[in-house]
Amino acid sequence: MNSKPLNQADRLLISRLQNQLDEVRQRLRVSAPGVVLFRADLSYGDDEVVLVEADGLGGAVLQVVEGNYPVDYNTREEKSFSTEAEAIGAARALEVDLVVQ
């Protein structure tokens, strides 16, 4: 964690680089890191939730969490996927399994 304010040149550099990253992600249709791409309840009491979170590099992480998401929860399962679409597809399959049961 930075404890000193950044000088103007460093702030501009970070801003410029972030803008470049945003443009590349938009062109490649890749979500920014930490963006929740998918969320569904896996239990009727909202105690179990499946999430897909972008990694910022074109992939995503599927998580099955238990508890009071996003305030107080535990991650029960986690799996990384090389594409966002694969992760969302796997999450949707878990959601469908709930409906079928």
With respect to residue 41, please indicate whether it lies within any of the assigned structural domains. yes
Query: What pLDDT score was predicted for residue 101?
Result: 53
pLDDT tens digits along 30-68 = 999 999 999 999 887 768 999 999 999 999 999 999 998
With respect to residue 90, please indicate whether it lies within any of the assigned structural domains. yes
pLDDT tens digits along 17-33 = 999 999 999 999 999 99
Residues 66 and 49: their CA atoms lie apart, in Å, by 6
Query: What pLDDT score was predicted for residue 69?
Result: 87
Across the range 70-98, mean pLDDT stands at 92
**Inter-residue contact 65 to 53 (CB < 8 Å):** no
With respect to residue 16, please indicate whether it lies within any of the assigned structural domains. no
Best CA proximity match to 58, nearest among 19, 32, 36, 77: 32
With respect to residue 19, please indicate whether it lies within any of the assigned structural domains. no
With respect to residue 40, please indicate whether it lies within any of the assigned structural domains. yes
Q: Which residue range is the domain that position 89 belongs to?
A: 31-100
pTM of this structure = 0.83
With respect to residue 74, please indicate whether it lies within any of the assigned structural domains. yes
With respect to residue 96, please indicate whether it lies within any of the assigned structural domains. yes
Total domains in the fold of the chain = 1
Residues 8 and 75: their CA atoms lie apart, in Å, by 40
Best CA proximity match to 36, nearest among 78, 88, 73: 88
With respect to residue 80, please indicate whether it lies within any of the assigned structural domains. yes
Best CA proximity match to 88, nearest among 65, 64, 68, 61: 61
